[in-house]
């Protein structure tokens, strides 16, 4: 077997590194007038609104290189930004990537991150149009700015929910958090005994939900097919509880969520129980599921009730700021955001 070549970043320098990372970038959108290679990208969305969002991932805070594959990291960094645009009922079209890189990373390692970014761009037909690299003295930092588009009349904000609107969620919740629990458990075992082999068998689904999430473009497409425009929408990055409260705050309404209606995968439920965690707590406060939480008018109930991979989990009320969870034994519990705190 040929020995793998490791190239120090200092051997290339910034501009040669950028050329190496973007040489195979493919352009998918007509709105990309100029991509990498000038002082700025040029984007023309003509009669559509431009959407912009940014996420920063920091080593030791958002990801742990003990168990996070570099290609997965690049993919995730791009996809979580795409999710923000879909949550506005828009379409992501371009991204700009900034990297802060410490000397412990080789050129090949950074290339692997970019392979993940390009895979995400290829899968979602998003153009990589620029970025920047700089040295870091404290690990790896990835900043992704995403640009998207939407017709003015199609954009959905967090502020549009009305009393009696139905609260819906895509997919299932809590899987990413329970996947993280497994990764942290195996990391602890490895730190105690570096000769141990990790026990990941049977956890494929929840591990993938943590390490390689997907944005729910398909849900946006399904809603457009059945001619349903949500009244409000947000993606679930910090946990269901946090996102419910965001909609309530921005829309000046309250909410009732039925605990037994929260969709969860069976492996998620069993893993939560194995860690002595109430499964619904993992869904409410775990985060990083990147599913869509949205409200619809009651008049759209018949269109949505049988929509594949969408579940109605509650309704909005006129009690501003009063978000409650109704348990199976008919007790109301105030919903509090206990998920990831950025500071």
pLDDT tens-place string over residues 303-316: 999 999 999 999 99
The answer to whether 340 and 286 have CB atoms below 8 angstroms apart is: no
Assess if residue 288 is contained within a domain: yes
pLDDT at residue number 33: 64
pLDDT at residue number 16: 57
Assess if residue 242 is contained within a domain: yes
Task: Read off the DSSP letter of residue 132.
Answer: E
Backbone angles phi, psi at 170, to 5 degrees: -90, 160
Distance CA 73, CA 79 (A): 10
Domain count, the chain: 2
Task: Read off the DSSP letter of residue 62.
Answer: T
Assess if residue 69 is contained within a domain: yes
Cβ neighbors of 268 (< 8 A, separation 6 or more) are 172, 173, 174, 175, 178, 206, 279, 282, 283
The 10s digit of each residue's pLDDT in 207-226 is 999 999 999 999 999 999 99
Are 133 and 244 in a shared domain? no
Are 190 and 253 in a shared domain? yes
- 119, burial (CB in 10 Å: exposed 0-12, middle 13-18, buried 19+): middle
The answer to whether 327 and 278 have CB atoms below 8 angstroms apart is: no
Assess if residue 4 is contained within a domain: no
Assess if residue 87 is contained within a domain: yes
pLDDT at residue number 112: 95
pLDDT at residue number 27: 73
Are 150 and 170 in a shared domain? no
Assess if residue 24 is contained within a domain: yes
Distance CA 178, CA 209 (A): 9
Are 286 and 244 in a shared domain? yes
pLDDT at residue number 40: 44
At which of 154, 184, 219 does a domain end? 154
Are 86 and 196 in a shared domain? no
Could you list the residue range(s) of the whole structural domain that residue 228 is in? 166-334
pLDDT at residue number 227: 97
CATH of the domain at 198: 3.90.650.10
pLDDT < 70: residue spans in the chain: 1-4, 8-25, 32-43, 339-343
At which of 133, 154, 175 does a domain end? 154
Closest alpha carbon to 144 in 23, 50, 53, 210? 53
Are 76 and 201 in a shared domain? no
pLDDT at residue number 103: 87
pLDDT at residue number 339: 56
Assess if residue 271 is contained within a domain: yes
pLDDT at residue number 144: 96
pLDDT at residue number 11: 64
CATH of the domain at 58: 3.30.1330.10
Assess if residue 5 is contained within a domain: no
């Amino acid at each position: 077997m040929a020995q793998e070549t490791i190239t120090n970043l200092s051997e290339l320098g910034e501009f040669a590194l950028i050329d190496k990372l973007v040489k195979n970038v493919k352009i998918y959108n007509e709105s990309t007038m100029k991509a990498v290679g000038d002082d700025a990208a040029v984007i023309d969305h003509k009669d559509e609104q431009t959407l912009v969002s940014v996420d920063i991932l920091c080593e030791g805070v958002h990801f742990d290189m003990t168990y996070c594959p570099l290609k997965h990291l690049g993919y995730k960094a791009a996809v979580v930004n795409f999710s923000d645009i879909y949550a506005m009922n828009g379409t992501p079209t371009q991204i700009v990537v900034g990297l802060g890189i410490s000397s412990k990373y080789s050129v090949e390692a950074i290339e692997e991150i970019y392979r993940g970014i390009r895979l995400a761009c290829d899968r979602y037909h998003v153009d990589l149009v620029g970025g920047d690299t700089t040295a870091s003295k404290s690990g790896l930092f990835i900043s992704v700015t995403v640009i998207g588009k939407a017709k003015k009349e199609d954009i959905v904000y967090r502020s549009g929910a009305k009393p009696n609107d139905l609260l819906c969620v895509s997919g299932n919740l809590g899987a990413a958090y329970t996947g993280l629990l497994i990764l942290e458990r195996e990391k602890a075992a490895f730190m105690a005994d570096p000769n141990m082999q990790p026990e990941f068998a049977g956890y494929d689904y929840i591990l993938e939900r943590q390490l390689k999430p997907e944005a729910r473009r398909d849900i946006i497409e399904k809603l457009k097919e059945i001619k349903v425009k949500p009244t409000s929408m947000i993606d679930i990055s910090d946990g269901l509880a946090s996102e419910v409260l965001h909609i309530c705050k921005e829309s000046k309404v309250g909410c009732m969520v039925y605990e037994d209606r929260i969709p969860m995968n069976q492996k998620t439920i069993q893993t939560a129980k194995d860690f002595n965690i109430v499964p619904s707590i993992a869904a409410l406060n775990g985060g990083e599921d990147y599913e869509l939480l949205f409200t619809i008018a009651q008049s759209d109930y018949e269109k949505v009730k049988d929509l594949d991979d969408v579940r109605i989990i509650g309704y909005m009320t006129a009690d501003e700021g009063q978000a409650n969870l109704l348990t199976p034994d008919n007790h109301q519990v105030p919903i509090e955001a206990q998920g990831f705190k950025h500071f």
